[in-house]
Chain A
Amino acid sequence: MANGQSGVFVGSAGLVWRRQRVLWWVFVVNLILASFAARTITSRVAPVLNHSLASIPLLVQGFHVSAMDELGGPPAEYLTVGPTHVYYSVIFFFFMLLATGGILEAYWRDSSPTTGEFFQSGGNYFWRFFRLVIFLLLVLIPVGIVAVAARGIGNVIDEKSISPFPWVWFELGSVLLVVFLLMSVRLWFDMAEIIAVAESETRSRKCLRRGAKVVWHNFGSLFWLYFRISFVGWLVFASGMHFWVHHIGHASITKSLLVSQLIVLFWLGARFWQRASETLWYKNYLSRPESESVAPAPSPYEPSLVASAR
């Protein structure tokens, strides 16, 4: 089992590397949308900064907090640009909803789809995955309740102790619990999406039930796989931020942009790696004889990718 998991861990990284085109696609779309979002602020600050000698020593050669405050503060409030960036992030969210089907197809088939095939797959799965997002939001409600309850208990602990540490440790523990719950829920829904693609299952609730069974019976191995990749992602993100802050000079605008984009790319890559690993894991899982008790045989009425994969 351990060897198998190790194979999935490394093999799925290879899968992301082989099918990196989809990763680049998504990254570029996010970058373009974010660039559009930044146009508003650029147009507001450019007249203030581009011809001012103060902009270079305050913002470029040394990043002064007060300079940002002056830009953002009254009366002009140049940094107040409304929720444009939120709108573009929501657009990216819907793009990802559309793209996820194509991404999973690419990983399931281990082939590079054409643009048309990619979006055709995305279109095929869009409403199924949209429904899954609705279910996910419903499932996140109890997680939110846990988080709110933990905050309430934390406040009580906070009020009762003269030392800050009981609260600190409790908060740390509750954050870890909530993160664990979020990861578990995501793992479950990831698996439901993979089942939808692998078995061309159109019924979202059935995907969720099967996903739940698979995750329930294999939680340790699946969570360990998911966690390890998450950990690598966090590590790369933290290291990237550290490198950016400590080793890229304030005046190195291009290097700064490059590093920031690499951070975004690796973060996205880690998420794709999780998708690929879960897909690969599910393929391996279906090839195991004991999996039959959980995964039903493909329906003869539905042309199945599973069948072709076998």
Chain B
Amino acid sequence: MRVAPIRVAWLLLVLVASGNIAFAQAPNATATRSEKQPLSVRVVGYQIDAKYDAVKHTINASEVLTYKNLTGQPQQTFPFHLYLNAFQPQSTFMTEVRLQGTRGTGADSSWDPKHFGSITVSKFAVDGAGDLTNKMEFIHPDDQNTNDKTVFQVTLPKPVPPGASVTFHLDFQDQMPEVLERTGYAHDFVMVGQWFPKVGVWWKNAWNCHQFHANTEFFADFGTFDVKITLPQNEVVGAGGDLVSTVSNGDGTKTVTFHSEDVHDFSWSASPTFTDVEDSWTGSAGEVKIHILMSPGHLGTAKRYLQALKGTLHLFDEWYGPYPYDRITVIDPPHGGLDAGGMEYPTLVTAGTSWFVPKGLLLPEGVLEHEFGHQYWYGMVATNEFEDAWLDEGINSYTEVKIMNELYGFNTSVVKTHWGTMGEPEEQRMTYMTRPDADPIARFAWQYMGSSSYGGVTYGKTATMLLTLEKIIGEDTLRRAIHTYFMRYRFTHPTGEDFLKTIEEVSGQNLRWYFDQSVYGTQILDYEVLGVNADPLNWWEKRQSRSGPPPGGMYRNTVLIHRNGDFIFPEDIQVKFENGETVIEHWDGRDRWIRYTYDKGSKVISAEIDPDHKVWLDRSFFNNSMTVKQDTHATRKLSDLWVFGTECLGQLLAWLT
């Protein structure tokens, strides 16, 4: 790891590059990547020339988009996303935020004019068709909100034949908002995401170009990006592309040029106060250059970021498939800019930390692991985040569990302190428990009951559902299935069924009964031990003594199991007896209850559902077992803590006397 303070970087770069100044990414010496076989079917080619005004936080840009019609049919109407228009009070996005909140913003939040963002297309021309600016019309495919301007479409004078290409020329102006929802500025930091007009995706034999919603993310086709950004000379830039050149313009600005291919988006970030922490990692697909752009006051976390990132790269490479890009850039948003954190773009992710995060709280590690995981689940396996959010967020939350557990311990991968611990599986299950039965996993992201249901189900329930699936098909089989899914569907747009069928295929099992309930249903899984009892078999005969064996020396032991929820799941039940004997029962879980009876010379002491603790979907772990003899340790512990807390509160109040 090399930490290059920006002043040192300045000096070195001025000396070496004679006019080329501060940039975060060194020009890529292996500029022959485009000569390699493309990894994806390249539908789009974007060339953007942008000028950033760091004072007004505006971008003036021209865009040349070449679209290759691989839809198999003539195309005359093309829809485009204008995501930045979501940051206006009457947009669908803000209307939904006001109603239900979203990440970082609560419901009923007031409108802050600084959060205004916009993107205006001032020119729209097409090769061979001329200026079609006046043909642009805003459309609202998801609702009837005519005030929403996040999608527009243009109908060309004549259709583009199958296999042919069409080139669009657009001029547009961005007004970046003060940072919210992944994008915008904070002080002199700016995170520029979803900032250019982006064409929709022809998918399932129709255009897929949804409006921007409070709970939705993005969907786009693969292609190439050649982006020039002109901005003040002192800015340190990180972007989702290889740095091709940096040219000083002699007027206090510089122009940095990036190239990226086999990706479906391009984002960038800049700040004069970034410190670039550089490193590299070599995996099965070659060397990956790492740039972590740290904000002031956060440098202490850089080592933690790096350790988490390298560990994640290694395990993804080993378990799921190679990381084929030669770079990964991590943006650490500054103090006050955390709303830009925790977001993924192709080959660029934003993390999140603070000036002080105790080592035992693995939040920076968890966020970075999660966002890097999206390079696979969203970046390469480019699922539709509007309609199948669980395929990126949910699968990614599951792989986050597996990787964080491997790197930081099963019970300690979120909180690892002397006073308490928490592991990733528990965290995901906790998230799921916030609103477990409102929505099925397979639901369009903007159609969830609210942001807590969206978060709890899309992230938490999917991860918990996959963890529970390990009990049915085995952890290794599920890992192989996910590996197969990645290798088969990378650089494509698979559906939820593609994922589920891959699991069935690799496991060789029909899992519809499970997926129907857990993915397409809202049933709650909750089995409980309702009773554990030992009764003398000859109960009518008088005993010799109270503590001695019963007449005949035999007991009728009964264990009563009850299905609380509607989710039907086969369960193992472990029954233990006084003499050390253990019996494992397998119940298909279909009936509402089942009673097991054992006539034995020994008394039952406990019964436990899911003794291996693998059914993470179970709503309550505490009712999964019952002992005949009570153990008051846990109650005493909680009670003692309550006593201590109350005494402290009393003494604080008594300070007034």
Please state if B637 and A85 are interface contacts (CB–CB under 8 Å).
no
Say if the beta carbon of A51 comes within 8 Å of chain B: yes
Q: Which of A218-277 contact B (CB under 8 A)?
A: 245-246, 251, 253, 256-257, 260-261, 263-264, 267-268, 271
Residues on the B chain within 8 Å of A34, using CB: 642-644, 646-647, 650
Given contacts A65-B422, A66-B426, A162-B186, contact A256 B646 (CB under 8 A): no
The docked-state distance in angstroms from the alpha carbon of A120 to that of B421 is 50
Say if the beta carbon of B40 comes within 8 Å of chain A: no
Please state if B622 and A49 are interface contacts (CB–CB under 8 Å).
yes
The docked-state distance in angstroms from the alpha carbon of A33 to that of B630 is 27
Residues on the B chain within 8 Å of A74, using CB: 433
How far in angstroms is the closest Cβ of chain B from A174? 17
Say if the beta carbon of B657 comes within 8 Å of chain A: yes
Residue of B334, B430, B653 near A162 (CB, 8 A) is: B334
Residues on the A chain within 8 Å of B639, using CB: 38, 41-42, 45
The docked-state distance in angstroms from the alpha carbon of A137 to that of B653 is 12
Over the window 614-657 of chain B, the binary record of Cβ atoms lying under 8 Å from chain A Cβ atoms (1 yes, 0 no) is 00000011111111101111111111111111111111111111
How far in angstroms is the closest Cβ of chain B from A300? 31
Please state if B422 and A64 are interface contacts (CB–CB under 8 Å).
yes
How far in angstroms is the closest Cβ of chain A from B4? 19
Please state if A30 and B651 are interface contacts (CB–CB under 8 Å).
yes
How far in angstroms is the closest Cβ of chain B from A132? 8
A37 (CB) vs chain B CBs: closest residue: B646
Residues on the B chain within 8 Å of A256, using CB: 637, 640
How far in angstroms is the closest Cβ of chain A from B623? 7
The docked-state distance in angstroms from the alpha carbon of A260 to that of B630 is 25
Please state if A93 and B335 are interface contacts (CB–CB under 8 Å).
no
Please state if B634 and A59 are interface contacts (CB–CB under 8 Å).
yes
Please state if A52 and B627 are interface contacts (CB–CB under 8 Å).
yes
Please state if A245 and B419 are interface contacts (CB–CB under 8 Å).
yes
Please state if B633 and A60 are interface contacts (CB–CB under 8 Å).
yes
Residues on the A chain within 8 Å of B651, using CB: 30, 92, 264, 267-268, 271
Say if the beta carbon of A175 comes within 8 Å of chain B: no
Say if the beta carbon of A96 comes within 8 Å of chain B: yes
Please state if B421 and A62 are interface contacts (CB–CB under 8 Å).
yes
The docked-state distance in angstroms from the alpha carbon of A74 to that of B296 is 40
Say if the beta carbon of B297 comes within 8 Å of chain A: yes
A244 (CB) vs chain B CBs: closest residue: B419
Query: How many Cβ-Cβ contacts under 8 Å join chain A to chain B?
Result: 213
Say if the beta carbon of B336 comes within 8 Å of chain A: yes
Q: Which of A1-50 contact B (CB under 8 A)?
A: 30-31, 33-35, 37-38, 41-42, 45-46, 48-50
The docked-state distance in angstroms from the alpha carbon of A92 to that of B650 is 6
Say if the beta carbon of A54 comes within 8 Å of chain B: yes
Given contacts A41-B638, A55-B633, A96-B657, contact A31 B643 (CB under 8 A): yes
Say if the beta carbon of B188 comes within 8 Å of chain A: yes
Say if the beta carbon of A71 comes within 8 Å of chain B: yes
A159 (CB) vs chain B CBs: closest residue: B336
Say if the beta carbon of B462 comes within 8 Å of chain A: no
Please state if A162 and B646 are interface contacts (CB–CB under 8 Å).
no
Please state if A88 and B650 are interface contacts (CB–CB under 8 Å).
yes
How far in angstroms is the closest Cβ of chain B from A78? 9
Say if the beta carbon of A110 comes within 8 Å of chain B: no
Given contacts A66-B426, A165-B355, contact A45 B635 (CB under 8 A): yes
Please state if B335 and A161 are interface contacts (CB–CB under 8 Å).
yes
How far in angstroms is the closest Cβ of chain A from B270? 13
Say if the beta carbon of A307 comes within 8 Å of chain B: no
Please state if B635 and A63 are interface contacts (CB–CB under 8 Å).
no
B624 (CB) vs chain A CBs: closest residue: A54
Say if the beta carbon of A297 comes within 8 Å of chain B: no
The docked-state distance in angstroms from the alpha carbon of A65 to that of B296 is 32
How far in angstroms is the closest Cβ of chain A from B561? 14
The docked-state distance in angstroms from the alpha carbon of A58 to that of B354 is 30
Please state if A92 and B655 are interface contacts (CB–CB under 8 Å).
no
Say if the beta carbon of A133 comes within 8 Å of chain B: yes
Interface centre among B414, B421, B622, B642 (most CB of A within 10 A): B622
Say if the beta carbon of A204 comes within 8 Å of chain B: no
Given contacts A164-B297, A251-B633, contact A45 B335 (CB under 8 A): no
Given contacts A41-B642, A162-B334, contact A96 B421 (CB under 8 A): no
Please state if A54 and B656 are interface contacts (CB–CB under 8 Å).
no
Please state if B655 and A73 are interface contacts (CB–CB under 8 Å).
no
The docked-state distance in angstroms from the alpha carbon of A253 to that of B633 is 7
Residues on the A chain within 8 Å of B419, using CB: 63, 245
Given contacts A34-B650, A56-B633, A162-B296, contact A66 B427 (CB under 8 A): yes
The docked-state distance in angstroms from the alpha carbon of A160 to that of B655 is 37
Say if the beta carbon of B100 comes within 8 Å of chain A: no
Say if the beta carbon of B255 comes within 8 Å of chain A: no
Residues on the A chain within 8 Å of B630, using CB: 50-51
The 23 listed contacts between A and B (C-beta, < 8 Å) are A30-B647, A42-B642, A45-B635, A50-B634, A52-B634, A54-B622, A59-B638, A60-B633, A63-B420, A65-B420, A69-B430, A85-B649, A93-B656, A93-B657, A96-B654, A97-B657, A136-B656, A162-B189, A162-B271, A162-B273, A163-B296, A167-B335, A257-B636
Q: Which residues of B does A touch, CB under 8 Å? A: 186-189, 271, 273, 295-297, 334-336, 354-355, 411, 414-415, 418-423, 426-427, 429-430, 433-434, 606, 608, 620-628, 630-657
Known A34-B642, A51-B627, A129-B657; further 9 A-B contacts with Cβ < 8 A = A35-B643, A45-B639, A52-B623, A59-B633, A92-B651, A162-B273, A164-B296, A167-B335, A261-B644
